[in-house]
Structure 1
């Protein structure tokens, strides 16, 4: 146990080093938020992958194959298609001007009201979604503290773990800025990929050759290797029906990597369009193989824990804490911390950016003050899942995806309309109201008909386009 704590402390020291090493270069906005576009595209691509996959990938992806099979790879295939569309269609527009926030592009086309509205939606969805990510990453730390002999409730341990994680992330994000975040992301990506490979090898080592062959045959007989779902369920959940999954995955990726400032920030921080396109498409391929790695872990855990009652969303955390020997336990916990902190630091930086530029708060507050403020808000948001996880029917990963799915569809429609050559047929203020109404409509439709998260994005996309068309017709009638 002492060696595990030592490994984690070494990890924290390295993270602090990056934060303070780059602190002297973060006084100006273009450096604090984009590192003057001096970072090589490969580092930005790995930073993008580290940012988007987070602790939900490390801890929750195994739960999907533990419960079912490899069908989540359908979503990953959609991700590659979606990023390709963004790279070829939307990205050229982002490099045509001199914008730091991608929402400034919307403001240049449609005015301040739509720009600030989409910024506000981004802020709320990021605080809620990444609050879940922070919560998930705190679970193994709380388990570790429990093993160390802390005789308090799991809830108190979890909040204490969240506090430690938040403080460390806020410090290096506030002092180091975007440059420190990117290079820390690369380090964190290496750590958690190593952690995933180590976990897979460790589980594999628990089986003899004969046992492993039997396990593979057992998984195959149960259909646990299935990737594509061709059967449409008339009454149940069709999130992974092949058509819905690939189209939904494509829309999710278009929304996240084409309209979400936190992810787009890494793409426009490169020197030119060609490098940005390589970042987008390359990241999709890397993410696909990451998903494959962690789905393999979940399948082997299904055999390893055969007959035992363990909640799927906590099965990998349980394995890490109970089966991994010291000091490798410290390495895996550091990998979980790495996956969480890469997302959280990026969220802090991007929320600071959008409020500095889209809301012009840079007139009153420095980038570091804004980053500190949003770091504290993220910590508070991470406490929300304590009131939800016992009653939420779906897994914690799908919960996170659902939150973003409500807003991504209308956001995609905003940028596709901005990409068009025609001006808005309605006023910017009315457009902002329709944008918000389309999100509420998507939420209502999704809850009433209990639609899968893979359908929510295209529905939201169609809602805003439909509302704008209706507004255009009403305007003609008034004339």
Structure 2
């Protein structure tokens, strides 16, 4: 790496927390820290949502998916858009009507504190695991950059350094700092990716695009009948993607908190739907990068290129092939993508800990100033835990984007199923919901770890996009059957009118 590249990365790492603090303003209350006092413009929330869910996995791992296969991964984005439309018109109005700062406040109002706490704890564990993968993924290209300088730095040191920068502006600026820095960070990695496409195009032989088409690299739809184990069969990807998006953007505090920072429910609806459109084109951009890398390397197996994993393909190209300055910009973009996810997770973990667990465990109503102090303290605590979790992921045999999505899918089905149970089954009460929720987690674990299907004479596991639909089905079935114990339907719950945060 050249001095200019390193200087760009250094300026980015120093400037990011400064920018976040400057843009956020002073945090005067817990509402400022949690939801920016609901004064953030919808377009900024759109880009923040995209930056948060994109993370490093998209930047370095989605190209690997296209390199090793084709662009059928894009079918997931179609499902994502459908799912967001449902979230916009079914769940967001309920959250705004209750003045909530946590998605799980709805479960507390509908079922009780026990269900709210159960869902919150599940969210905390899921985020730590899923975003631990994302944080580890960021360390891959950074380690390669340092190796090029002759420095052998361990993954956990890199992970800790990234976490420190992210926690600085999250701690001091709250959700507003997170959102505005996300907007800037998204711009950095998108500009870098577009520049990489132009550089690649200039180094490929004439006729590379028709050759890739003939090779099937731009196949978009997979109408395979093997829908149970094929991750990107059309039905699997669209149905699974839609329900995954309903869970991730309607039942996951990480995204819901951003959407609740909008001024009105209409703004929140515009933000979540627009984010689905932007994500579609982002996926397409990085899949095209992967297809072009396949042409650049003549389709060579990653191991034949001296790589230990496919996810090193794009990072190596960035380090070794991009011009001076552009290489540093794209590495900074990769780190930016990671920090946008980690900072978002830290703020949402802190919010959920305080609003869903702390207040109910202590059974006290602390002052708003106390809530704000506790929220910042938990931001620091979760940052330390994040580093430990991320250090668990030292290697993987499949693209880490698939690992990250699979981890989130383990519990998303139960979370989304609990919301569906509360809305659709009037008889259901808290005990029914908790038993169904826990039962769904157990069933998901059985399918993930033990159930295999025989396809064309070979054993294969259930495709990860089916984890969420399976979880929703189990939760609704178990919860619905248990609710039949009650002689009469539970009384209609009015929409909540208040959700205190301090």
TM-score of Structure 1 vs Structure 2, range by shorter chain: over 0.9
1:216 pairs with 2:216? no
Equivalent residue for 1:381? 389
Bigger Cα displacement from structure 2, 50-59 vs 20-29: 20-29
Whether the aligned pair in 2 keeps the contact of 1:93 and 1:419 (CA below 8 Å) is no
**Residue in structure 2 matched with residue 397 of structure 1 by the alignment:** 401
Give the CA RMSD over aligned residues: 1.8
Counterpart in the other structure of 1:434: 436
Could you tell me which residue of structure 1 aligns to residue 455 of structure 2?
none
Which residue of structure 1 lines up, in the alignment, with residue 162 of structure 2? 165
How far residue 23 of structure 1 moved from its aligned partner, in angstroms, is 6.6
Cα offsets for 1:335-361 (capped at 9, x unmatched): 001110000000000000001100125
Is residue 375 of structure 2 the alignment partner of residue 367 of structure 1? yes
Spell out structure 1 runs of 4+ moving beyond 6 A: none
| Superposition pairs of residues 40-189 of structure 1, within 5 angstroms | 40-150=41-151, 152=152, 156-189=153-186
Q: Name the structure where helix makes up a greater proportion of residues.
A: 1
Structure 1 residue 212, shift from structure 2 partner: 3.2
| Alignment of 1:408 onto 2:405 | no
Specify every segment of 5 or more residues in structure 1 that has no aligned partner in the other structure, as ranges: none
Moved more, 315-324 or 252-261: 315-324
1:248 aligns with 2:245: no
Q: Please report how far the alpha carbon of residue 179 of structure 1 lies from its aligned counterpart in structure 2 after TM superposition.
A: 0.9
1:193 match: 190
8 A contact 2:427–2:484 mirrored in 1 = no
Secondary structure of the 2:138 match is helix
Who is 2:499 aligned against?
none
Going from structure 1 to structure 2, the CA distance change for 1:434 and 1:218 (only over 3 Å counts) comes to same
Q: Is the 8 Å Cα contact of residues 155 and 391 (structure 2) preserved in structure 1?
A: no
User: 1:18 touches 1:176 (CA, 8 Å); kept in 2?
Assistant: no
**Shift in Å, 1:421:** 7.3
- Is the partner of 1:217 in helix, strand or coil? helix
Looking at structure 2, the residues matched to 18 and 176 of structure 1 have their Cα atoms a distance apart, in angstroms, of: 10
Stretches of structure 2 lacking an aligned partner (at least 5 in a row): 303-308, 360-364, 453-460, 488-502
- Contact between 2:421 and 2:479, CA under 8 Å: does it hold in 1? no
The structural deviation recorded for 1:395 is 2.1
What corresponds to 1:336 in structure 2? 334
- Cα offset, 1:326, TM superposition: 2.0
Q: Is 1:230 matched with 2:220?
A: no
Q: In structure 2, the residue corresponding to 1:251 is in which secondary structure?
A: helix
Pairing 1:262–2:266 present: no
Count of aligned residue pairs for this structure pair: 462
TM-score (norm 2): 0.89
- For 2:203, the equivalent position in structure 1 comes to 206
Q: Deviations for 1:348-394, whole angstroms, at most 9, x for unmatched residues?
A: 000000011001259475221111111111111111111xx34x4x3
Match of 2:356 in 1: 358
Q: CA deviation at 1:419?
A: 2.5
